[in-house]
Amino acid sequence: MSKTSNDENPKQKVTHMCLIFSHTLITEDVARYTYPGSGTQDDPFVVDWIPNDPRNPMTGIGKGMKWLITVIMALGTLSITFSSTAFSGAIPQIQKDFHASTELSILSVSLFVLGIAIAPMTWAPLSELYGRQVIYAVMFCLVTVFGAGSIWSHNIETLLVLRFFAGAFGSSAIVNSAGVITDMFVAKERGLAMIVYTSAPFVGPTIGPICGGFVAQYGGWKWVDGMTVIFTGICWIVGMILVPETYQPYLLIRRAKKLCAMTGHKYVSKLEVGKPERKAFATFTRAIARPWVMLFFEAIVLLVSIYTAIVYGTLYLMFTAFPIVYEQERGWSQGVAGLPYIGVLVGQILSMFFYVVLEVGYQKKLAKNPDKAKPEDRLAPAIIGAVILPLGLFWFAWSTFPHVHWIVSVLGGALFGFGQVILFISLVNYIVDAYTIYVASAVAANAILRGLFGAAL
């Protein structure tokens, strides 16, 4: 095969559909590029991205498309977290239709969250073996199918089982979305994108009871279920059409294998150089074990996961408290009793704008000293959130009495929402910057504890 020099290649233009359907994208420049090595078994060609490589997710995807993909990933995560709590607004209707106890009806929420907690330990390693794209497509298809199936449940047992599996398959969005964003953005650009993504795990559970309460009051629990199915179904279709494969190690391995087949020479990805070839089963088991190893043997991952799990569990405790405070104690209707969640939502949205201001300051500091950037720099906002969050809880707890005006407790919820999101964004940004290649496994380790606390509390 003829080779060219490694002179700077002009930027090659390819359509976005080429990125969707081709994981290797062997253009003429890619095929003719001079890779290090001699192409033998002992000294293979080492495959890396060529200059201006159109398949490199960091340089080949336009800025506008990167942000569109980020929004799609965030909405996918939002659709799952929204679905987790939307049923909390339909508990009375589930009790009535299935003649079930309150505790059993609440399991329609708890088991969905439990599925979110358990399954990421499988989906994250699989995405690092087989790429993000196929896992997203298959899992979102399944969450939509199981969600649709639960609409036709004839007893509470069927509903609970289907809700659990819907949560388990939907959890892939939570871990894969962080991976996709990390694949596309360099560290200095990643902060704003992570703000969009990390808001979804908290904003979704907040708006779920608001929408679910009104829909259930006028249409019943099946319409609530239908609403979540439509949401996840749209995210599935849009994601399949617009989101390409972005995991760089997987793409380079696929390209190396393709070049081997085309030329007869030996090519390996730069990430495989010097590593012994493993059988598929050994690679799979190693990948499956990685999130557990990171959770229990990486002190950073363990401590951050415990902290965010407590915060996430507290959010679900708030969801339990709101119906008691506003529906039982104040006598509000089922739909209206969900409106105080807007206070938490407003606090969460304000925290995102506040974090944008902090991120701009961080970027200016980074521009002056780009070589001194450390993942620990991402933790400064967490200090603010760690103080504001308990203040919001204290405020809410001591203002819930019926003789105190309702706005006072709603403001406490807003303060809680502000501290909660700014804390979570800061900690997730820290994890992402510290574990870039295995970010899906690191986020999965975080997600399992977070989900377990949410389900239990």
pLDDT in tens, 99-115: 998 888 888 888 998 88
Position 302, amino acid: L
312-371 pLDDT per residue, tens:
888 878 877 888 888 888 888 878 888 888 999 999 899 988 988 888 887 777 777 766
Lowest mean pLDDT of 5-14, 144-153, 229-238, name the range.
5-14
Q: What is the DSSP letter of 90?
A: G
Q: What per-residue confidence (pLDDT) applies to 274?
A: 67
Average pLDDT score, the chain: 86
- Cβ atoms of 156 and 93 within 8 Å: the answer is no
Q: What per-residue confidence (pLDDT) applies to 74?
A: 92
Q: What per-residue confidence (pLDDT) applies to 412?
A: 94
Rounded distance, CA 210 to CA 335, Å?
7
Q: Spell out a b/e string for 235-260, using b for 16 or more CB atoms within 10 Å of the CB, else e.
A: bbebbeeebbbbbbbbbbbbbbebbb
Res. 418: pLDDT tops 90:
yes
| % pLDDT > 90, the chain | 34
Closest listed residue to residue 322, CA positions, set 225, 408, 413, 199: 413
Q: What per-residue confidence (pLDDT) applies to 240?
A: 92
Q: pLDDT-derived band of residue 6, with 50, 70 and 90 as boundaries?
A: very low
Q: pLDDT-derived band of residue 411, with 50, 70 and 90 as boundaries?
A: very high
Q: What's the Cα-to-Cα distance from 318 to each of 117, 202, 252, 412, 428, rounded to whole Å?
A: 19, 12, 46, 11, 22
What element of type H or E holds 268? Answer: strand 267-269
Q: What per-residue confidence (pLDDT) applies to 151?
A: 93
Res. 7: pLDDT tops 60:
no
What element of type H or E holds 269? Answer: strand 267-269
Average pLDDT of the residues in 285-301: 83
35-63 pLDDT per residue, tens:
998 888 888 899 999 988 989 999 888 88
- Cβ atoms of 155 and 98 within 8 Å: the answer is yes
Q: What per-residue confidence (pLDDT) applies to 2?
A: 38
Q: What per-residue confidence (pLDDT) applies to 270?
A: 87
